[in-house]
Structure 1
């Protein structure tokens, strides 16, 4: 009766087509209350609809997130089979992120939309505003189902995972290896980040930022790809996902099933709102009166379909969904029968804020690291280690924070290192995903103690570094200079601060920004000069009162890219 695929909606048969069918009748069967026409062995519903009082069949167009589309298609098929409805419902599966973008642009013609989270409504409105479009007229109804955000692990590693309670706190602390599908496209990932932030220390925002940097090092192409990684991993690793996505994976009879690990410190749940468009798709019509009558009929059908969906708890549960209030028992391999404790992830504003932070932290970077190797780096720090020793430790930790897609080059500087030049180019800017390049940089870090000597040629080096990055600028990445120093400019033969600032102003190009991120550590740094340089390049200046603070300062430098040059 009704159709539930992504195929285009069929047009109403024309008179010539119907007459040709009549001419090809093989069997006419009298069935109970009416006459049904059999053609080529199949029951044709055209005349059945007319006989049951349907002048014509109404069309309903529903777009739903792929996680719930199969369940809705099944419910719609039963709904359409009722002869009193005279309707053909087409359920199209489409990622909520894609639908949100289309709705925001004003280019969608549907009767209803079921995304996998209310956050997509906020995303739709934000996108429409950014495009200069009016906010779409949407009637957002209550949720028809829910699904808690959980951790997915390989069934064969379930015992190892259960050895220690899984929790958001362990993800924050780095003791639970986790994979996060792109939250730009996954509501479960975005809600997971909201839960993660809720368990981070309110007194230390770097904890959450550091966790996002770690999760952003390797972003899988999709949730399905992430599930494949979990199954192939040698050690236990989990994917941040929703319970229903695990259900769909296991119901597809994979080679190795997944198990849902429920966060011991609580979680959040995705809601599935039923969203009506304010302008239903109109049937082909002539007069305005006919069109209005058709619209009223469509609204009534949508009301009835929505009620049918809400009453179809068994069908939804069979696909892995809990009730809208989070309750309900499930009987699916890999899932707990009883619902976990979960709060609805309804803080759309907070999730949008987190998404902006994520976008900043995972921007693919192209950096030139410029390292001070002047003689003062030999001096001991408060803990007795030399400044260069502590810098080495921080540098190794920093390398671990970068993904393989980050491009990094290395210079060292003091005074007169390379003839009259204060700087020395030790490694070009190249992807850390290149094993040979990554090993080369690791070797440079280990060799730093043997390179110490001279004074601090800060200003000449800064200008040259900005010029180098600008010469090889990549518009697809964040291009920057990351400069570490323990002192102030001591090159009497080089340029002064005013000259440096004037030269930076000359080469400034708003279309090709090259911010200078200056990190000073130790008691001898000239923070005032660093701040002026940072302001001139729309970068940032940080001071680590103790060399041991370098790792923390680096998280700040990466996480505040969106607020420069006015970071607090």
Structure 2
């Protein structure tokens, strides 16, 4: 039987890398490497000269697998083979590959979506050896005061969930797509599930801007806190050593799973396939499974019921890689706080009745609901318009100027004031549609109210076409908007046409010249969904 020569363990220093993810954003990666070498088969006295040729194999793993794989490699390294074990985040490895760099010889990621062409670009240069060498569920964890929600979507719109940055964290990425993964089970459409991303991302952006959630962990989740933290079962096992009161509050609908696939590079170094297969076999063995459990991880074929710390018994299937990528890309934009001047058509045609009420009544209901989705740091103003609504020659009337929703004036917050106005909107309709002058005035005001580090927009809602014969002409309006547009202070016009009666073409022309977009809400009750879609487009 072969005996092993003295193993040599070397810590390799590597700089932290600024990682810009393909399609999805920015993450910070880093790593540690370990070098292990077996020189011969003739016992401790063997030297490198005993090997006709030394083979070098690079193995890259996530930090959560580093200790387990390092010990495993020490056991399974073939003769005359040098194995380097390095810790790198999946986002860092994916960036390296998508940027034209060579993949590692053997790569264990924490989720298979990182190994797909969506993230690697073009055709994947990898061959999956096994879909899983270990697993750990992604949980919502809190203290005794933390609630358990019926679904991930309900939890994430509650404002109580802290999530690691989805742009670089696999757990964060799968958490933000969880509402889509569970949609059918909880009776939501995919569109409704996607809309839930808006308040979640906005709340995240607000907390990060205040110095919170920049480094999400459970150390600050005290016994009296109601907050929920997105983390893994592996991390919960470790955290309970110092905070035994932490509990799994994951919705019963299920938990996303980190599955740790192992892949081999096409054309990998000689000996790589042998190392890869030996790793798979070892980690599936009794000794390997014991090592995984000691590290807080489940085995590759563990059933959800064989938990180490989690209460949840169901696995939530991951969406397709492209869904994950586009959702996380949207998150990057949505986590930027909103500065919105809402400009609402209050002409007489908004009194036209539908199955659920007048156009204005349904719009007001949608506005009230939408206000609940926006966090306190969002800035919102409200105008209404119809011909001479603001007095002779002025088609707009300012109901509330642009302020933060938590701004307190005269004993009431901006959010409260806006909600009060939504109840009065149906009583404020009359006259014809004064669209063009209002659009220009609103855009000029939004430029004056511009705030850096916010997404600044004029949301223009109308059910008609311009009827003010004394207003600026469309061609002159477009020219004026083009002159006013400032790339250093971007403000978009988002047009929402309420019903087929609205002049969608005019809205599209105004939106296009400002870098915005226009949408059709065929029915007034569609306004909330269309508004969420418009925000997602930024």
Counterpart Cα distance in 2 of 1:464 and 1:355: 35
**In structure 1, what is the Cα distance between the partners aligned to 2:499 and 2:479?**
28
Q: Separation in 1 of the partners of 2:215 and 2:140?
A: 11
Distance 1:143 1:2, change over 3 A: farther
1:513 Cα deviation after fit: 6.5
Residue in 2 aligned with 1:138? 126
| Unaligned stretches of 5+ residues in structure 1 | 13-32, 35-46, 281-294, 563-568
Residue number among 195, 216, 223 corresponding to 1:225 in the alignment: 216
What corresponds to 1:318 in structure 2? 294
Aligned counterpart for 2:95 among listed residues 101, 105, 121: 101
Does residue 66 (structure 1) correspond to residue 63 (structure 2)? The answer is: yes
Which residue, out of 88, 105, 108, partners 1:114?
108
Q: 2:439 aligns with which of 453, 462, 478?
A: 462
**Cα displacement (A) at 1:462:** 0.5
Q: Which residue of 2 aligns with 1:367?
A: 340
1:129-183: per-residue Cα shift (whole Å, max 9, x none)? 4xxxx7563333213434354433325348x64xxx84457559x6896444443
Q: Superposition pairs for residues 449-528 of structure 1, below 5 Å?
A: 449=424, 452=428, 455=431, 456-469=433-446, 478-485=455-462, 488-501=465-478, 503-504=480-481, 514-519=491-496
Deviation of residue 116 (structure 1)? Answer: 0.5
CA contact 1:60–1:298 (8 Å) conserved in 2 = yes
Structure-2 change in CA distance of 1:175 and 1:512 (3 Å):
closer
Q: Displacement, 1:100?
A: 1.4
Please provide the CA RMSD for this pair.
4.7
Q: Provide, for residues 295-332 of structure 1, a one-character-per-residue CA deviation record: whole Å limited to 9, x for no partner.
A: 53565445444543443111112223223234387574
**Could you tell me which residue of structure 2 aligns to residue 43 of structure 1?**
none
Alpha-carbon contact 2:129-2:262 (below 8 Å) kept: yes
Aligned to 1:395: 367
User: More deviation in 346-355 or 501-510?
Assistant: 501-510
Specify whether residues 66 and 515 from structure 1 end up closer, same or farther in structure 2 by C-alpha distance, changes over 3 A only: same
Report the equivalent of 2:282. 308
Matching residue within 308, 327, 332 for 2:303? 327
Corresponding residue for 1:439? 413
Structure 2 distance, partners of 1:206, 1:109, is 36
After superposing the two structures, state which structure 1 stretch, 106-115 or 415-424, moved more.
415-424
Structure 1 residues 141 and 297: CA distance shift in structure 2, 3 A: closer
1:207 aligned residue: 192
Maintained 8 Å contact 2:153/2:193? no
Structure with higher Rg: it is 1
Rounded to whole Å, the distance in 2 between the matches of 1:151 and 1:95 is 20
Q: Unaligned regions of 5+ residues in structure 2, if any? A: 1-6, 15-32, 37-41
* 1:342-394 deviation line (CA, Å, top 9, x unaligned): 366373344334444545654544432224456887x6966998877765554
Residues 223/150 of structure 1: CA separation in 2 closer, same or farther (3 Å cut): farther
CA distance in structure 1 between the aligned counterparts of 2:317 and 2:49, rounded to whole angstroms = 44
Aligned: 1:216 with 2:201: yes
Separation in structure 2 between the aligned mates of residue 522 and residue 341 of structure 1, nearest angstrom: 43
Residue matched to 1:540: 518
> What is the aligned length?
493
Q: Equivalent of 1:348, from 301, 304, 321? A: 321
2:20 aligns with none
Q: TM-score, normalised by structure 2?
A: 0.72
Secondary structure at the counterpart of residue 71 of structure 1:
helix
**Deviation at 1:482?**
0.4
Please report how far the alpha carbon of residue 64 of structure 1 lies from its aligned counterpart in structure 2 after TM superposition. 1.6
Contact 2:337 2:378 (8 Å CA) reproduced: yes
